[in-house]
């Protein structure tokens, strides 16, 4: 299985995935990082881990279609079979999603469908929710949507600050995402029908 991790920022989930691969917890033939942000810290993480970096800046293209076509070309050249979004801050077009249907995973720091969007942890904290959590799901044409693969609930403690809650959520993400990728690579969750057998 050849994996592409898409990331635009810090890249802690990228590092968690690479660690699991290096520890032989996930059977991956090769892995690349795809980033749209030349200043993203995840690029330094990838370089340190000696992972191939594919940097494709949206600013270099006149349209999203051309931008995505360039990504697809690189994915083809690396024979990518699975995409894991890990803080990739761009919506993928319906055409891109259709091309890689049931082969694009995303991780989100809430119990979807609650608290969608880029501020999910803060939103749960500000709403004084009793619980939040992490969701890994297949990507479809809508934001933070698509068939749920795995969710884990996390209690928001009375002594939690936003920073402590973020830390606990990220730790949970780092556990769940490699677990789901392992399931996918083992042929357990290739379709929504497959999901029903493992949940």
Phi and psi at 183, nearest 5°, equal: -60, -45
Inter-residue long-range contacts of 186-193, CB under 8 Å, 24+ positions, other chains counted:
186/27, 189/149, 190/102, 191/102, 192/102, 192/138, 192/147
Which is nearest to 198 in space by CA: 187, 185, 188?
188
Distance CA 177, CA 148 (A): 13
Catalytic residue among 108, 145, 170, 174: 108
Q: And the tokens for 83?
A: 């995409």
Distance CA 33, CA 53 (A): 5
The angle subtended at Cα 68 by Cα 146 and Cα 34, nearest 5°, is 80
Asked if 108 is an active-site residue, the reply is yes
Sheet holding 2-6, edge to edge: 52-55, 30-35, 2-6, 82-85, 104-108, 131-138, 148-155
Checking DSSP bridges between strand 104-108 and strand 82-85, what pairing results, if any?
A: parallel
Residues 6+ apart with CB under 8 A from 20: 26, 178, 181, 182
Active-site residue set = 108
């Amino acid at each position: 299985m050849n994996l592409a991790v898409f990331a635009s920022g810090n890249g802690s989930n990228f590092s968690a995935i690479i660690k699991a691969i290096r520890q032989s917890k996930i059977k991956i033939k090769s892995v690349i990082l795809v980033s749209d942000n030349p200043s993203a810290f995840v690029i330094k993480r990838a370089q340190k881990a000696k992972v191939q970096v594919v940097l494709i800046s949206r600013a270099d293209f006149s349209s999203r279609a051309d931008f995505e076509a360039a990504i697809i070309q690189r994915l083809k050249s690396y024979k990518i079979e699975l995409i894991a979004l890990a803080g990739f801050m761009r919506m993928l077009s319906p055409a891109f999603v259709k091309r890689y249907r049931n082969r694009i995973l995303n991780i989100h720091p809430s119990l979807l469908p609650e608290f969608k969007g880029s501020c999910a942890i803060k939103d749960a904290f500000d709403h004084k929710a009793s619980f939040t959590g992490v969701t890994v799901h297949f990507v479809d044409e809508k934001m933070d949507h698509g068939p749920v693969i795995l969710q884990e609930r996390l209690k928001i403690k009375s002594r939690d600050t936003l920073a402590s809650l973020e830390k606990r959520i990220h730790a949970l993400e780092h556990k769940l995402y490699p677990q789901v990728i392992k399931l996918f690579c083992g042929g357990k969750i290739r379709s929504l029908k497959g999901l029903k057998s493992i949940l």
